[in-house]
Amino acid sequence: MGSGKEKKQQQNHKKKRLPLQPKKVVNNKRKKEKVKKTRSSSNNGESIESAKSKIKVKDTKLIDIVRFPTAAQQLEFFHEQYQSANRVQLSSLELDSFTETCMLELNPDHAQISSALADHMKVAFGSSWKESLCEKELDEKIDPGQPAVLVISLSALRSCDLLRELRPLTSECRAAKLFSKHMKIEEQASALKNRVNIASGTPSRIKRLIDVEALGLSRLAVIVLDMKTDTKGYSLLTLPQVRDEFWDLYRNYFHQRVLEGALRICLYDEIPVNIKEEKSNQDE
């Protein structure tokens, strides 16, 4: 047995061998920076409330872009674009005729990727979709060069992208490519002497083919306006030259048919909504 002194030394020795706990270091520098930032923001006259309101505005702008707009949202956007581009005010008679029924509301269950456009068109044509969009034989009811669906895009490249989405419908009756890139108008006019259910192209070439009576509109039920933006942020309705060509085509050949209820407009891809609210926010 050891003495009490020896036991005390052994206990002290054991305590020394225990690992030391890390000390909690307070980062005063970070705290100072935080205080500095708070002071500088208050010096600039920006309170916490104003910061919150800025976030709110930012969030509002983010939700202003809608991928599957309702018929009402499409109609509001299209009215705004039509009146702005043509520098006209729609009359009360036109507004009464140009209702939500003129717009084709897309089904949000179908994502706008892959072959989704084909699925949307099936829904739009209902039980008659095979007869209207797939059959290739001409008959007494169907004249050559008369599509049921016309897709209008910003460029030839984008037209081809959308034609790929429509492949499930065009395996038997080929879609007509109506753009100028690598294609002569004479070749396209020749192709339109057959039955055509679906056509896709750019505004200028479509108008030329209508003008030379190669492309007919008597059977046309839906025009799909591609709202996809290019790498520079331009779309069918914002790229200056193409926009002017589109509205020239629309005024001359589509507008009256839309008002009569013979033709529906489908805005495909994203569109901005709440345009008036956004403008008022900018003015403030």
Q: Would you give the distance in Å from CA 82 to the centre of its chain? A: 18
Task: Tell me the pairing of strands 271-272 and 176-178.
Answer: unpaired
Instruction: Note the pLDDT of residue 102.
Output: 96
Highest mean pLDDT among 15-19, 27-31, 246-250 belongs to: 246-250
Q: pTM here? A: 0.73
Which token pair is 102? 């003129």
Instruction: Note the pLDDT of residue 104.
Output: 94
Instruction: Please say whether the beta carbons of 266 and 124 come within 8 A.
Output: yes
Instruction: Note the pLDDT of residue 281.
Output: 46
Which pLDDT tens digit goes with each residue over 131-176? 999 999 998 889 999 999 999 999 999 999 999 999 999 999 999 9
Of the candidates 199, 193, 210, 188, the residue with the CA atom closest to the CA atom of residue 254: 210
Instruction: Please say whether the beta carbons of 177 and 163 come within 8 A.
Output: yes
Give the span between the Cα atoms of 106 and 264, in whole angstroms: 12
Give the span between the Cα atoms of 111 and 117, in whole angstroms: 9
Q: Domains (ranges, CATH) in the chain?
A: 97-269 (3.40.50.300)
Mean local confidence (pLDDT), 214-219: 96
Which pLDDT tens digit goes with each residue over 78-91? 999 999 998 999 88
Element (H, E) at 166: none
Where does the pLDDT of residue 4 fall: very low under 50, low under 70, confident under 90, or very high at 90 and above?
Answer: low
Give the span between the Cα atoms of 183 and 188, in whole angstroms: 7
Which pLDDT tens digit goes with each residue over 20-77? 555 455 555 554 555 444 444 444 444 444 444 343 444 444 447 888 788 999 999 9
Instruction: Note the pLDDT of residue 38.
Output: 47
Where does the pLDDT of residue 6 fall: very low under 50, low under 70, confident under 90, or very high at 90 and above?
Answer: low
Of the candidates 239, 249, 161, the residue with the CA atom closest to the CA atom of residue 204: 249
Instruction: Note the pLDDT of residue 184.
Output: 92
Mean per-residue pLDDT over the chain, rounded: 80
Instruction: Note the pLDDT of residue 56.
Output: 43
Give the span between the Cα atoms of 187 and 208, in whole angstroms: 13
Give the span between the Cα atoms of 159 and 228, in whole angstroms: 11
Give the span between the Cα atoms of 121 and 224, in whole angstroms: 10
Of the candidates 140, 164, 134, the residue with the CA atom closest to the CA atom of residue 151: 164
Q: How far is CA 281 from each of CA 56, 59, 78, rounded to the nearest angstrom? A: 12, 13, 21
Q: To 10 degrees, the CA torsion angle through 203, 205, 206, 209?
A: 160
Which pLDDT tens digit goes with each residue over 102-132? 999 887 776 545 468 999 999 999 999 999 9
Instruction: Note the pLDDT of residue 5.
Output: 55
Please, which residues bridge with residue 103 across strands?
265
Where does the pLDDT of residue 181 fall: very low under 50, low under 70, confident under 90, or very high at 90 and above?
Answer: confident
Angle subtended at Cα 96 by Cα 92 and Cα 101, rounded to the nearest 5 degrees? 150
Mean local confidence (pLDDT), 231-246: 94
Give the span between the Cα atoms of 31 and 37, in whole angstroms: 10
Give the span between the Cα atoms of 102 and 5, in whole angstroms: 101
